[in-house]
């Protein structure tokens, strides 16, 4: 509703608003959504150009996210509080309508006499972004235009919030994929430099951090980091080996303090050391690679955005995996090939039977999340909750596996007292409730189960996890039944589904081998048969090993 004859009428604007709200509500990819929103905001009130910025709480700034009809070289990616149009709205928290020339410290050149509106975008009571919309002289924007933009901002906030939550689930899934990939790299047992280069490439490829460094401490000079493993732009731009005293830089601080260094604005941190000829990033995250209290090296990543808790947690786990992988690779040089092959096979089996199955369930949910959310936001919300539960399970499994894989645990494995494990019923219920989607009826009947030795319960849990995962991925069942039968000498676990059954020619895969191997090691066996009238039944038998009372 411009104060000129070119303004669209009220009915046309409301119809256009309704159409725009419908268009943006179905978009879940954040960057395209923001571009669509700012373009449609300009079209709605007949503006000549516009910008949308997102609020970055860690830096207390507005980060320009998308624009319409504004040259890229005129935009500032980061707008501090109080500066320019969007920074002024951040400072006041209120809409602003004025001439651009009247703003304190304008952040870009603008045509003389440009009239603008700055509009806060709020979701769940919090500021998440700011609109900046302008028209060239002699036109101006009136109060009705401001009200219309305010209404559009309310709908845009919902769409942005949904897209961010969807993006967050994708980010979480990609980080689990990276953890599994790095774990698999470490399990293959290559030379140290080879596995670190593969890990650096995986971190760059999977999470798109532009710069990755994985330096190691020099064994002959433990006060110096040797940087020869790089990923991303640094791998392309820096072809030589660098040596960095641990008294310098953010990576040096990670070594000295033996803890993570998170710097979300390197421009104000005097410790930052920029390689010659390289443009500084916005943020740096340096995580020491440890074995106990001994520092082996550093996992260092840089980005043009701030790092958050998910970055920190996931990369800490990656660093733990790298520590185990480095030690295993060094042990490889002093151990027989047969002994290492046995350990790698055990690692591969544990990864496959625990984390990989959870990641598979997460992948299935992620693939259907956008469609489910668009069709029914309640269903989308429920699937997000399942993803969160699966992510917590995956982190717990990863950390448990890492404790087992540490060299100290490997040496004392035969003599250690088993750590306390939650009751088998609880572990099974929690795992399967997260794995099995709502459209599949899950029935767990194990009331007669008696606590068994840790190894027996672990084998039964992994057999059940593998069987359920296979059924969900390949058989499309409508129901899955889990049951146990206890006799005087043994225990039987049954997993039955009503899916499409086994193929006539079933390829023997790693999962079936692992199930049989786990049971066989404990004196048990596995039986797989069709279930009438359709479906599959898997029976796992183990001799009884009742847990002794404490």
Least trusted range by pLDDT, from 14-28, 384-398, 495-509, 518-532: 14-28
Rg (CA), the chain: 29
In this predicted structure, the answer to whether residue 333 has a pLDDT above a threshold of 70 is no
The predicted model gives 170-177 an average pLDDT of 82
Res 441: pLDDT: 93
In this predicted structure, the answer to whether residue 230 has a pLDDT above a threshold of 90 is yes
In this predicted structure, the answer to whether residue 382 has a pLDDT above a threshold of 90 is no
Write the pLDDT tens digit of every residue in 187-228: 766 688 998 999 999 999 988 899 999 999 998 999 999 999
Domain 10-167 in this protein, CATH class: alpha beta
In this predicted structure, the answer to whether residue 401 has a pLDDT above a threshold of 80 is no
Res 6: pLDDT: 46
Domain 10-167 and domain 421-550 have a common topology? no
Res 435: pLDDT: 82
393: left (phi over 0), alpha (psi -120 to 50) or beta: alpha
Helices 357-375 & 424-435 angle (0-180, nearest 10): 40
User: Which carries the bigger pLDDT value, residue 11 or residue 155?
Assistant: 155
The predicted model gives 342-368 an average pLDDT of 66
Domain ranges for the chain = 10-167, 188-334, 337-416, 421-550
In this predicted structure, the answer to whether residue 445 has a pLDDT above a threshold of 60 is yes
Write the pLDDT tens digit of every residue in 99-137: 999 998 888 888 999 999 999 999 989 999 999 999 999
- With bands split at pLDDT 50, 70 and 90, how would you rate the model's confidence at 268? very high
In this predicted structure, the answer to whether residue 421 has a pLDDT above a threshold of 90 is no
The matching CATH number, chosen from 3.90.1150.10, 3.40.50.800, 3.30.565.10, 2.60.120.260, for 421-550 is: 3.30.565.10
Res 26: pLDDT: 64
CATH 3.30.450.40 fits 188-334, yes or no: yes
The predicted model gives 512-521 an average pLDDT of 86
Res 420: pLDDT: 38
Q: Is the dihedral of CA 42, 43, 49, 51 positive or negative?
A: positive
CA atoms within 13 A on the CB side of 323: 24
- With bands split at pLDDT 50, 70 and 90, how would you rate the model's confidence at 510? low
Please, are residues 499 and 490 in contact by the beta-carbon 8 Å criterion? Answer: no
Q: With b meaning 16 or more CB within 10 Å and e meaning fewer, what string describes 431-442? A: bbebbbeeebeb
Write the pLDDT tens digit of every residue in 446-483: 888 888 988 899 889 889 988 988 888 888 899 999 99
């Amino acid at each position: 509703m411009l104060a000129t004859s070119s303004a669209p009428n009220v009915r046309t604007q409301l119809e256009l608003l309704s159409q725009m709200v419908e268009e943006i509500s179905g978009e879940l990819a954040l960057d395209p959504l923001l571009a669509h929103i700012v373009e449609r905001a300009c079209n709605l009130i007949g503006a000549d150009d516009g910008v949308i910025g997102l609020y970055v709480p860690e830096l207390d700034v507005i980060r320009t996210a998308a624009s319409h009809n504004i040259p890229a070289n005129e935009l500032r990616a980061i707008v501090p509080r109080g500066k320019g149009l969007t920074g002024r709205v951040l400072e006041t928290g209120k809409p602003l309508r004025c001439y651009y020339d009247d703003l304190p410290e304008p952040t870009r050149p603008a045509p003389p006499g440009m009239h603008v509106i700055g509009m806060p975008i709020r979701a769940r009571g919090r500021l998440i972004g700011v609109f900046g919309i302008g028209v060239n002289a002699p036109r101006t924007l009136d109060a009705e235009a401001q009200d219309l933009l305010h209404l559009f901002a309310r709908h845009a906030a919902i769409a942005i919030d949904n897209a961010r939550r969807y993006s967050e689930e994708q980010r979480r899934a990609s980080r689990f994929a990276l953890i599994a990939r790095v774990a698999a790299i470490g399990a293959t047992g290559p030379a140290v430099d080879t596995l670190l280069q593969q890990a650096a490439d995986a971190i760059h490829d999977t999470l798109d951090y532009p710069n990755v460094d994985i330096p190691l401490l020099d064994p002959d000079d433990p006060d110096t980091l040797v940087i020869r493993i790089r990923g991303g732009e640094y791998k392309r731009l820096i072809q030589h080996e660098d040596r960095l005293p641990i008294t310098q830089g953010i990576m040096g601080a990670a070594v000295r303090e033996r803890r993570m260094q998170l710097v979300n604005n390197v421009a104000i941190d005097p410790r930052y050391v920029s390689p010659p000829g390289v443009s500084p990033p916005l943020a740096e995250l340096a995580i020491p690679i440890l074995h106990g209290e001994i520092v082996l090296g550093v996992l260092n990543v840089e980005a043009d955005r701030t790092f958050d808790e998910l970055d920190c947690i996931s990369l800490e786990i990656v660093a733990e995996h790298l520590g185990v992988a480095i030690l295993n690779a060094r042990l490889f040089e002093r151990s027989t090939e047969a002994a290492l092959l046995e350990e790698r096979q055990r690692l591969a089996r544990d990864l496959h039977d625990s984390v990989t199955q959870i990641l598979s369930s997460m992948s299935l949910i992620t693939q259907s999340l956008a469609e489910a959310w668009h069709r029914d936001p309640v269903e989308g919300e429920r699937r997000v909750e399942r993803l969160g539960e699966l992510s917590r399970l995956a982190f717990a499994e990863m950390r448990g596996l890492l404790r087992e894989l540490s060299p100290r645990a490997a040496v004392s494995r035969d003599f250690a007292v088993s750590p306390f494990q939650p009751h088998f019923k609880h572990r099974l219920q929690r795992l399967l409730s997260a794995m099995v989607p709502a459209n599949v009826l899950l029935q767990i009947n194990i009331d007669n189960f008696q606590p068994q030795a840790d190894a027996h319960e672990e084998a039964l849990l992994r057999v059940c996890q593998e069987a359920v995962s296979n059924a969900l991925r390949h058989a499309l069942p409508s129901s899955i039944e889990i049951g146990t039968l206890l006799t005087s000498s043994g225990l039987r676990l049954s997993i039955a589904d009503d899916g499409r059954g086994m193929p006539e020619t079933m390829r023997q895969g790693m999962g079936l081998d692992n199930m049989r191997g786990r049971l066989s090691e404990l004196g048990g066996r596995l039986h797989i048969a069709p279930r009438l009238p359709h479906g599959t039944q898997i029976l796992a038998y183990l001799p009884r090993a009742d847990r002794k009372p404490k």
